[in-house]
């Protein structure tokens, strides 16, 4: 289950329990506030039929929530602008129930003040089941071997699992996976190679000049490899080449 | 990563790590490198072990359970009985399997090396743009480089290994000393030597046999049978030959036998004559049906009535028989010290009486 799926499920469950819910995804600040107001049933126009300003909407929503309990659910909350985060923080201080669903949220303001629930990557079996279902939906006939191969590009992320299937359906070239479950093995490799430097000391201890010299050369070689690896371009935050 | 890249990676690493050119050991490594890909039926190993591949690919994503440290440990344990048959074969199996999945660390998708503790993918380097795409042009370049490295490792291993080749490249007495220490009980040690005679400053460039090693100096014998201490004159002021370059190689196989001789108040001819004819030649075998032998004598002789004894000495070459101390005027006793002396060297002493303690090294085989 991904965060968006969780947000929708929570909203659905609350609605079924007759709790007033607003589930929005951030767009522009005004539009976001407008979405919340609309879902809560707050009037968004004045007596002249003119749409309220963002500040007026925020004030009206706050007044509405003061009178009538409702839950605010915000998906993709990592995209919330500072102005809305500050407003939500004020609502939270008043005891407003709200839940933010975010990918890698920043370690600051409202995100620090809310209890945190981290979604673990889905298990292999769950991702496989999701991919099978998505493949069936798209009438894609995929062998277990092909699914196993596609699954390695999804990691434990259900959104990526569906995207990988879309890419397969469209016959697109395989790209580097976009999931975030990586371990950079470069330090391990360097550490492993550095062990070779010990040969130098073994040679010295055993008074073996050849071993000592070879160990010295290897130590220099490892140093060069280390420098070269350190000078490689860093991983980009942008997609594609 | 392609099957051939996996094989070449495993072959190269195994050849270097085990210092082997044994085709059986290398074949095991190459085959083992295909095994991690048994988790997909589209791979070579998957097609061979189809039921296992089907079972795995129904349950796990590619490059997880079989591409892990845990799986390598399991293979090492399961194959443990192989160690009773051959440790190198077992090592090649484990190394080959490990290399099989470790190579994928350099691909775009990486491997779940720490599965099941973590499903995170181990990758090198972190930047995916610098990692290999299966079947890409970059992979073929890597394949070519691995092929060259593999042939280089074979060349090194068939010539005594990396250290030996390194010593050949350095061409210094220390390398010869290392080879002598390792192989002189099984092989004649020959060397190509370039240097300068200390006394005459004559340039020397010839093949010699290494007879003994003391620290970093070598006792060598040239084709004319002349012996020299050879080394760097900075560290060996008594050397006859200042070495510029020396490269050792293995000669013919030899069998070395060592005996000790002690005697009191006997004629040297009587003592030695029981061993070989005293015609001044290097000794023939003492027993029948044995190949010719080269004999070297080391030790000390105390000879009576030897005040008239005159031994040839040379400043330009090694003296295998040397007089130690001053002769006793009253008893006319002389003490001689022998080192790597041949029977020919002690021929002038045969008629003298005295005592002695000699270590006799009999070398059978090799080229005298």
For an interface test with A, the pick among B62, B132, B243 (most A C-beta atoms closer than 10 Å) comes out as: B62
Angle at the Cα of B302 from the Cα atoms of B298 and B304, rounded to 5 degrees: 145
* Residue, of A142 and B143, whose pLDDT is higher: B143
Among A171-175, B214-218, B275-279, B321-325, name the most confident range.
B214-218
Rounded to whole angstroms, the Cα distance separating A199 from A209 reads 11
Please indicate if any CB of chain A lies within 8 Å of the CB of B125: yes
For an interface test with B, the pick among A123, A129, A143, A145 (most B C-beta atoms closer than 10 Å) comes out as: A145
pLDDT band at B273 (very low <50, low <70, confident <90, very high): low
Q: What is the reported pTM?
A: 0.73
Residue A137 pLDDT > 90: no
Q: Do A208 and B124 touch (CB under 8 A)?
A: no
Rounded to whole angstroms, the Cα distance separating B125 from B289 reads 66
Q: How many CA atoms lie within 13 A of B311 on its CB side?
A: 23
pLDDT value, residue B329: 65
Tell me which residue in A125, A145, A152 faces B41 most closely, judged by beta carbons: A145
pLDDT band at B289 (very low <50, low <70, confident <90, very high): very low
Which of chain B's residues have a Cβ under 8 Å away from the Cβ of A165? none
Residue-level length of chain A: 241
A110-114, B25-29, B320-324: the lowest-pLDDT one = B320-324
Which of chain A's residues have a Cβ under 8 Å away from the Cβ of B59? 124-125
Cα→Cα distances B191→A120, A131, B138, B217, B218, Å: 67, 69, 44, 13, 10
* Residue, of B94 and B352, whose pLDDT is higher: B94
- For B119-173, write each residue's pLDDT tens digit: 889 999 888 888 888 888 889 999 999 999 999 999 888 877 888 888 888 888 8
Rg (CA), chain B: 31
pLDDT value, residue A109: 87
pLDDT band at B278 (very low <50, low <70, confident <90, very high): very low
Nearest to residue B297, comparing CAs of B356, B216, B239, B353? B356
Residue A235 pLDDT > 60: yes
What is the average pLDDT across B73-89?
A: 94
Whether B14 and B99 have beta carbons less than 8 Å apart is answered as: yes
Residue with tokens 């005679």: B197
A183-192, B182-191, B278-287: the lowest-pLDDT one = B278-287
pLDDT band at B330 (very low <50, low <70, confident <90, very high): low
Q: Do B113 and A183 touch (CB under 8 A)?
A: yes
Residue B255 pLDDT > 60: yes
What are the residues whose beta carbons fall under 8 Å from the beta carbon of B48, sequence distance 6 or more?
A: none
For an interface test with A, the pick among B1, B45, B119, B134 (most A C-beta atoms closer than 10 Å) comes out as: B119
- For A29-58, write each residue's pLDDT tens digit: 999 999 999 999 988 888 888 888 999 999
Rounded to whole angstroms, the Cα distance separating A217 from A237 reads 37
Which of chain A's residues have a Cβ under 8 Å away from the Cβ of B54? 144
pLDDT value, residue B48: 92
Please tell me what DSSP assigns to residue A225: H
pLDDT value, residue A230: 86
Which of chain A's residues have a Cβ under 8 Å away from the Cβ of B46? 145
pLDDT band at B279 (very low <50, low <70, confident <90, very high): very low
Nearest to residue A177, comparing CAs of A164, A168, A165? A164
Tell me which residue in A124, A148, A241 faces B40 most closely, judged by beta carbons: A148
Whether A163 and A132 have beta carbons less than 8 Å apart is answered as: no
Residue with tokens 């292999």: A124
Minimum Cα–Cα distance from A226: chain B residue: B125
Rounded to whole angstroms, the Cα distance separating B217 from B213 reads 6
Report helix, strand or coil for B221.
strand
Looking at chain B from residue 214 to 253, which residues have their Cβ under 8 Å from any Cβ of chain A? none
* Residue, of B362 and B78, whose pLDDT is higher: B78
pLDDT value, residue B291: 46
Report helix, strand or coil for B96.
helix
Q: CB burial class (10 A; 0-12, 13-18, 19+) of residue A211?
A: buried
pLDDT band at B285 (very low <50, low <70, confident <90, very high): very low
Sequential DSSP letters for A113-166: HS---PPPPPPHHHHHHHHHHHHHHTT----HHHHHHHHTTTTT-HHHHHHHHH
Peptide bond into A47 cis (omega under 30): no
Percent share of chain A, pLDDT over 90: 37
Which of chain B's residues have a Cβ under 8 Å away from the Cβ of A121? 119
Please tell me what DSSP assigns to residue B42: T
pLDDT band at A157 (very low <50, low <70, confident <90, very high): confident
pLDDT value, residue A239: 67
Please indicate if any CB of chain B lies within 8 Å of the CB of A148: yes
pLDDT band at B365 (very low <50, low <70, confident <90, very high): confident
pLDDT value, residue B99: 95
The partner residues of B229 in beta bridges, in order of sequence, read B219
Looking at the complex, report in whole angstroms how far the Cα of residue B106 sits from the nearest Cα belonging to chain A.
9
pLDDT value, residue B281: 47
The answer for B365, left when phi > 0, alpha when psi is -120 to 50, beta otherwise, is left
Mean pLDDT, rounded, of chain A: 88
Helix boundaries (H) for chain B:
3-18, 23-32, 44-48, 50-59, 69-78, 82-85, 87-102, 137-158, 162-170, 173-183, 268-273
Question: Torsion over CA of B288, B291, B297 and B302, rounded to 10 degrees?
Answer: 20
Phi, psi (deg, nearest 5) at residue B185? -80, -10
Please indicate if any CB of chain B lies within 8 Å of the CB of A124: yes
pLDDT value, residue B277: 45
Tell me which residue in B61, B108, B167 faces A151 most closely, judged by beta carbons: B61
What are the residues whose beta carbons fall under 8 Å from the beta carbon of A176, sequence distance 6 or more?
A: B108, B109, B128, B129, B131
Minimum Cα–Cα distance from A121: chain B residue: B119
Minimum Cα–Cα distance from B115: chain A residue: A124
Angle at the Cα of A198 from the Cα atoms of A189 and A217, rounded to 5 degrees: 80
Q: Do A184 and B125 touch (CB under 8 A)?
A: yes
What is the average pLDDT across B20-29?
A: 93
Report helix, strand or coil for B276.
coil
pLDDT value, residue B280: 43
Looking at chain B from residue 325 to 344, which residues have their Cβ under 8 Å from any Cβ of chain A? none
Q: Do B122 and A232 touch (CB under 8 A)?
A: no
Residue-level length of chain B: 368
What is the average pLDDT across B44-60?
A: 91
Which of chain B's residues have a Cβ under 8 Å away from the Cβ of A177? 108-109, 121, 128
Q: What is the distance of C-alpha A44 from the center of its chain?
A: 33
The answer for B327, left when phi > 0, alpha when psi is -120 to 50, beta otherwise, is beta
Which of chain A's residues have a Cβ under 8 Å away from the Cβ of B129? 176, 233, 236, 241
Which token pair is B193?
């030597």
Please indicate if any CB of chain A lies within 8 Å of the CB of B181: no
What are the residues whose beta carbons fall under 8 Å from the beta carbon of B145, sequence distance 6 or more?
A: none
Looking at chain B from residue 130 to 169, which residues have their Cβ under 8 Å from any Cβ of chain A? 130-131, 133, 162-163, 166-167
Rounded to whole angstroms, the Cα distance separating B295 from B283 reads 6
Neighbours of B185 (CB within 10 A): 10
pLDDT band at B245 (very low <50, low <70, confident <90, very high): very high
A65-69, B271-275, B342-346: the lowest-pLDDT one = B271-275
């Amino acid at each position: 289950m991904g965060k968006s799926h969780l947000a929708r499920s929570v909203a659905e469950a609350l609605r079924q329990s007759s709790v007033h819910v607003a589930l929005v995804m951030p767009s522009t600040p005004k539009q976001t506030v407008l979405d919340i107001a609309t879902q809560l049933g707050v009037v968004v126009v004045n007596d002249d039929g003119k749409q309220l300003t963002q500040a007026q909407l925020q004030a009206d929503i706050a007044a509405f929530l003061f009178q009538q309990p409702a839950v605010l659910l915000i998906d993709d909350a990592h995209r919330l602008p500072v102005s809305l985060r500050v407003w939500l923080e004020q609502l939270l201080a008043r005891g407003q129930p709200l839940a933010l669903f975010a990918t890698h949220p920043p370690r600051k303001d409202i995100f620090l003040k809310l209890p945190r629930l981290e979604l673990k990557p889905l298990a292999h079996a769950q991702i496989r089941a999701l991919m099978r279902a998505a493949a069936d939906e798209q009438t894609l006939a995929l062998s277990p071997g092909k699914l196993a191969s596609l699954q390695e590009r999804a990691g434990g992320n259900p959104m990526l699992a569906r995207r990988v299937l879309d890419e397969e359906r469209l016959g697109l070239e395989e790209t580097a996976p976009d999931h975030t479950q990586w371990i950079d093995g470069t330090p391990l490799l360097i550490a492993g190679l550095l062990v070779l430097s010990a040969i130098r000391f073994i040679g010295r201890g055993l008074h073996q000049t050849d071993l000592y010299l070879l160990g010295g050369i290897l130590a220099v070689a490892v140093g060069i490899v280390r420098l070269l690896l350190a000078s490689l371009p860093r991983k980009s935050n942008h997609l594609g080449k | 990563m392609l099957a051939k890249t996996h094989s070449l990676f495993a072959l190269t690493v195994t050849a270097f790590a085990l210092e082997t050119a044994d085709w059986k050991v290398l074949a095991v490594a190459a085959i083992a490198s295909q095994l991690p890909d048994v988790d997909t039926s589209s791979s070579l190993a998957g097609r061979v072990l189809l039921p296992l591949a089907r079972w795995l690919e129904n349950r796990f994503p590619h490059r997880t359970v079989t591409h892990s440290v845990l799986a390598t440990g399991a293979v090492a344990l399961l194959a443990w009985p192989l160690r009773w048959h051959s440790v190198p074969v077992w090592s090649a199996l484990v190394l080959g399997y490990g290399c099989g999945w470790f190579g994928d660390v350099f691909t775009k998708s990486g491997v779940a090396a720490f599965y099941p503790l973590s499903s995170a993918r181990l990758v090198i380097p972190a930047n995916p743009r610098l990692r290999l795409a299966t079947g890409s042009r970059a992979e073929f370049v890597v394949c070519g480089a691995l092929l060259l490295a593999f042939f280089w490792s074979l060349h090194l291993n068939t010539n005594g290994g990396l250290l030996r080749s390194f010593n050949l490249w350095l061409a210094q007495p220390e390398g010869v000393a290392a080879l002598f220490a390792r192989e002189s009980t099984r092989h004649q040690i020959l060397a190509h030597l370039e240097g300068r005679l200390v006394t005459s400053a004559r340039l020397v460039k010839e093949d010699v046999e290494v007879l003994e090693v003391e620290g970093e100096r070598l006792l060598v014998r040239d084709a004319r049978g002349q012996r020299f201490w050879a080394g760097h004159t900075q560290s060996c002021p008594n050397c006859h030959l200042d070495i510029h370059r020396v490269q050792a190689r293995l000669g013919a196989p030899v069998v070395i036998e060592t005996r000790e001789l002690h005697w009191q108040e006997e004629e040297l001819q009587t003592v030695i004559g029981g061993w070989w004819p005293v015609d001044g030649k290097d000794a023939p075998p003492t027993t029948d049906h044995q190949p010719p032998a080269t004999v070297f004598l080391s030790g000390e002789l105390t000879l009576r009535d030897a005040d008239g004894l005159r031994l040839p000495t040379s400043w330009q070459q090694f003296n295998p028989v040397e007089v130690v101390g001053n002769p006793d005027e009253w008893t006319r006793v002389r003490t001689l010290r022998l080192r790597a002396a041949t029977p020919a060297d002690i021929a002038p002493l045969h008629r003298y009486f005295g005592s002695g303690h000699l270590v006799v090294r009999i070398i059978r085989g090799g080229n005298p």
